[in-house]
Amino acid sequence: MLNGFAAEQRVFDLINKSRKIKGFKLPSSEKLIKIASQSKLGRKRIKSATSYLLQEYGVDYRHPETNQLSRILDWEIVPNTVILDYVFGIDAVVNVLGFIIAIDVTINSNAIEKKQQKLSWLRPLWQQAGIDKACVCYFQSTSPNNFWNALKTVTKQDKILAISI
C-alpha cells in the first residue's frame, strides 16, 4: 500500500521524466510568506502551519535583555516547497501548455472532494503566487502518458478538477 508521501514522490518522478511537462520556478520562501500574509485567509493559514513548522524548522533564540529562551521560525530556512504545502495546500506546480498548474496529491479517494474545496477556497493565495489552475491528483498508477493527458484536461477548465493517474 502506497502512502501519501510515496505518492507525492512518484508524481515528482513522473514530472521529472516527462518531456512535455515543464517545471515552474517557485517564488522564494520569503515571497510566499509575504503573499500569504497580505490576506486574512493567508494569515490564518500561516498561523495554523506555524506550530508544525516550529517543530521542524524552529530556531532557539535567547532574548539579549531577559535571557529568556524561545523557539522562533526563520522563514528563510523553511523550504519554499514546504510553505507551498502547509500554507497554500499544494504538493507540486508544473507548466503544461503554458498554464501553471498546482497539484495536490492524494491516495484517499474519499478525500478528493474535500481537497477540491480546499484548493478552491485557497485560490486567491495560489493565484497571487502566479498559478493559473489547480487539480487534485488521485494517485492510482504510474503511467506518464495518462498523467500528461490528465494535466492537459486541467488546462481547459476553470474549476478545480480531480484527475486520476
pLDDT tens digits for 35-91? 999 999 999 999 999 999 999 999 998 888 888 988 889 999 999 999 999 999 999
> What is the H or E stretch that residue 104 is in?
strand 99-106
Q: What pLDDT, on the 0 to 100 scale, is given for residue 97?
A: 92
Phi, psi of 162 (to 5 degrees): -105, 125
Residue 165 or 28, more confident: 28
Name the pLDDT band for 144 (thresholds 50, 70, 90): low
Strands 58-62 and 69-73: antiparallel
Q: How far apart are CA 32 and CA 60, in angstroms?
A: 23
Residue 123 or 18, more confident: 123
Span 91-111, mean pLDDT?
93
Determine contact, residues 146/11, Cβ cutoff 8 Å: no
Name the pLDDT band for 147 (thresholds 50, 70, 90): confident
Question: Residue 70: exposed, middle, or buried by beta-carbon count in 10 A (0-12, 13-18, 19+)?
Answer: exposed
Instruction: Count the neighbouring beta carbons within 10 Å of the beta carbon of residue 153.
Output: 12
Q: What pLDDT, on the 0 to 100 scale, is given for residue 141?
A: 63
Q: What pLDDT, on the 0 to 100 scale, is given for residue 2?
A: 67
> What is the H or E stretch that residue 65 is in?
none
Q: What pLDDT, on the 0 to 100 scale, is given for residue 46?
A: 96
Task: State yes or no: pLDDT of 1 exceeds 70.
Answer: no
Task: State yes or no: pLDDT of 145 exceeds 80.
Answer: no
Q: What pLDDT, on the 0 to 100 scale, is given for residue 35?
A: 96
Residue 38 or 146, more confident: 38
Span 116-125, mean pLDDT?
94
In single-letter form, the type of residue at position 2 comes to L
Question: Residue 131: exposed, middle, or buried by beta-carbon count in 10 A (0-12, 13-18, 19+)?
Answer: buried
> What is the H or E stretch that residue 62 is in?
strand 58-62
Span 129-152, mean pLDDT?
81
If you search the block for the grid coordinates 535571557, which residue do you land on?
A: 67
Q: Which three cell numbers stand for residue 128?
A: 497571487
> What is the H or E stretch that residue 148 is in?
helix 144-155
Q: What pLDDT, on the 0 to 100 scale, is given for residue 154?
A: 87
